[in-house]
Amino acid sequence: MHLPPPVTGAKSMERVTHTVARGETLYRISKTYDVRLDELMRINSIQDVSRLETGQVLYIPRKAGRPEFIPEEIKRLVGPKNSFSVWKTITVHHSGTLQGGARLFDRDHRRRHMGGLFYHFVIGNGTYSRDGQVEVGWRWKRQVKANRPYDIQICVVGDFSREEVSEVQLDSLVKLIGLLQGEYGIPVENIRRHEDIKGRHTECPGKNFPFSRLISRLSDHIPAHSS
């Protein structure tokens, strides 16, 4: 395994690492973490973008953590912390469909005898709700689980095995999760994909979902409490 070059000084506290997976390119990694390709090459002393190996460890430069503005609409939907609720993890799903919204999924889940909308929150893609619109489900309003105790379920509308998540959707997801983290003390390591759950044979939320980028932004993010 290739180790990244040593980093000294205060800047060393502002970097994370990424282990190159099979088929990944330096360009793709730079887009995932929203960093410039030439900066990624400079930090890691890479001269040839084509000479990237599976298992190679890269330093990812990032800005120091800072607060993000949380829209009032999201604060209102999440509401104040419920003192009787204990949420410990957050699981991110995709709908696996090219269109949809909370009401549509609720009808479908009722037909499938799932007790109505299975998710606590849904983030739209511009079909049945605005691109990036956060919709709240009845399970969150009543503070009840879906199928795992202490686990908040968030569904991003789209099939991210075939398409890319929109920047507006990703931004809303960061803000929603950041607010939930602040309210319920959920650490970033407890944010996971559906496929990360043991025993689940799925690629949800899809191979194109930028999970590493999501985690990077949440690591930069200082969780904000709703007012």
Q: What is the pLDDT of residues 48-57, one digit of tens each?
A: 988 888 889 9
Please check whether residue 101 is in contact with residue 134, taking contact to mean a CB–CB distance below 8 angstroms: no
Rounded to the nearest 10 degrees, what angle do helices 167-184 and 211-220 cross at? 50
Q: Which residue has the tokens 């009543």?
A: 142
Q: Do domains 10-61 and 72-220 have the same CATH topology?
A: no
As a whole number, the mean pLDDT across the chain is 86
Taking residue 44's Cβ as centre, other Cβ atoms within 10 Å add up to: 19
Give residue 6's pLDDT: 44
Q: What confidence tens digit (pLDDT) does each residue in 8-35 have?
A: 333 333 456 788 877 788 887 887 677 7
Give residue 214's pLDDT: 94
What is the end-to-end Cα distance of the chain in Å, rounded? Answer: 47
Tens digit of each residue's pLDDT, the chain (227 residues) = 444 444 433 333 345 678 887 778 888 788 767 778 888 899 899 999 888 888 899 888 765 444 467 888 999 999 999 889 999 999 999 999 999 999 999 999 999 999 999 999 999 999 999 999 999 999 999 999 998 999 999 999 999 999 999 999 999 999 999 999 999 999 999 999 999 998 878 999 999 999 999 998 888 765 554 44
Q: What share of the chain is helix, strand, coil (3-state, %, to 5)?
A: 35, 15, 50
Amino acid 202 reads T
Helices assigned H by DSSP within 20-165: 26-32, 37-43, 72-78, 102-111, 138-141
Taking residue 189's Cβ as centre, other Cβ atoms within 10 Å add up to: 9
d(CA 61, CA 70): 25
Token digits of residue 48:
């040839």
- CATH architecture for segment(s) 10-61: Roll (3.10)
CATH 2.40.160.40 fits 72-220, yes or no: no
Give residue 227's pLDDT: 42
Phi and psi at residue 43, to the nearest 5°: -60, -35
Whole-model pTM?
0.71
Amino acid 172 reads S
- The residue extents of the domains of the chain are 10-61, 72-220
Of 187, 168, 176, the C-alpha closest to 69 is: 176
